[in-house]
Amino acid sequence: MKKIVYIKADSLFDSVAGIFKKNPTVTIEDDKISQVHFGDSPIPAGAEIIDLTGCTLLPGFIDAHDHLSLSPQLKGHPQLMFDADPLLTLRGINNMKIDLASGVTTARCLGDKNFIDLYLKDAVNQGIVEGPRIIAATRGIKATHAHGFVGTVFDGVEAIRLAVRENIKRGADFIKLFVTGNTLKDKIMPHYLSAAEIGTAVQEAHQVGKKVAAHCIGGEGLRHCIEQGVDVIEHAYFATDAQIETLKKENRWIVLTPRIFFNEPRWATVSQAAIDEFKQDREVVRERCQKILQSGVQYAAGTDASHGEIAEDVIILTQFGESTSRALQGITWNAARLCEIENQIGSVESGKIADLVAVKGDLEQDIKALRSVCFVMKDGKIKRNEIK
């Protein structure tokens, strides 16, 4: 017999249309949404009802740029990525719990060491640990001298070709490259993979239907990514107007993570030199992000492993001038489209997986209500419920 639950709230964010609708009743049958009604909705006597009066209901959040075992809350966290795999795995378990409690029911993982993300994905799927649904890149591919503490070194075209094939064989949902660093170096924007190396990764991935994402902030590295057919540009902090326009014209994606330049609590765990680099570049990053938002290029948003803080990333996009609805689509409908699973998640519609989040207050009127997550459901199962 199916378990049927009725969820009522003050409003619901329709992530496809990008609008808020009043007085929803969502019917959950086992792990799926069966019906969504608005206004008066007859509920059978004795039915199980979750009353979220005073709350706004949304689809489960999708963190479009996460790293499961990276722990920015810990001092010296970049260097901690060199710790042994069992310790990284335990940190990943803890981070996933934090993410899930914040409303993240799906996490797109942009690289972890030695296939840790796949082990964690399997553990979640088997019910061994609690965490979001994982979309995994497996090993991030980087050059010896490149940025990327979570990356794995592969130098040269043939080494990269083999790495991509191995990642795909192990179960990678997409391929991740580290092309540039995070900040300018003496006003220079270095890149670490050649056009041939990038092109080889793209060729290998595309011929089996996988997308390629590149950590790339701009410069010649971004030009190579565009020319070689990279599907998703992660960060794009210094993308030029021309590059943004090309990405829009060719229906490529950008995943925005600007808050790393404005998240001063996160800086408490890194060196002063790193802090100085973030400070010197952040106004340029603000201006470039605003340009991306204004351009209409398709984008999703992510925390870059600031676990539990996805609300802050959405809020900062609105502070940059984005509308509440479009910013929320960056962690719901558009993020699902990026992951190519919009037929399963990303919106509250009949037939979709029952991933739901509720926040206290009227989110349409106050985006800061996104900080007040009080209810989380994943796969039809309640993971957090603070409604009394």
Distance of CA 161 to the CA centre of its chain: 26
Alpha helix ranges (H) inside the chain: 77-80, 85-101, 116-125, 157-170, 195-206, 219-228, 241-249, 264-267, 272-295, 310-319, 324-329, 333-338
Can you name the residues that pair with 300 across neighbouring β-strands? 255
> Count of CB atoms within 10 A of residue 2's CB?
8
Burial class of 272 by CB neighbour count within 10 A (0 to 12, 13 to 18, 19+): exposed
Nearest-5° Cα angle at 250, 158 to 172: 40
User: The tokens 């940190």 sit on which residue?
Assistant: 91
Which two tokens mark 131? 């965490």
How confident is the model at residue 278, as a pLDDT? 79
How confident is the model at residue 388, as a pLDDT? 63
For residues 301, 208, 89, 107, the Cα torsion angle rounded to the nearest 10 degrees is 20
Residues of the chain with pLDDT under 50: none
Which domains are assigned to the chain? 4-60+347-385 (2.30.40.10), 61-338 (3.20.20.140)
User: The tokens 């009127």 sit on which residue?
Assistant: 365
How confident is the model at residue 148, as a pLDDT? 82
Residues 67, 305 contacting (CB under 8 angstroms): yes
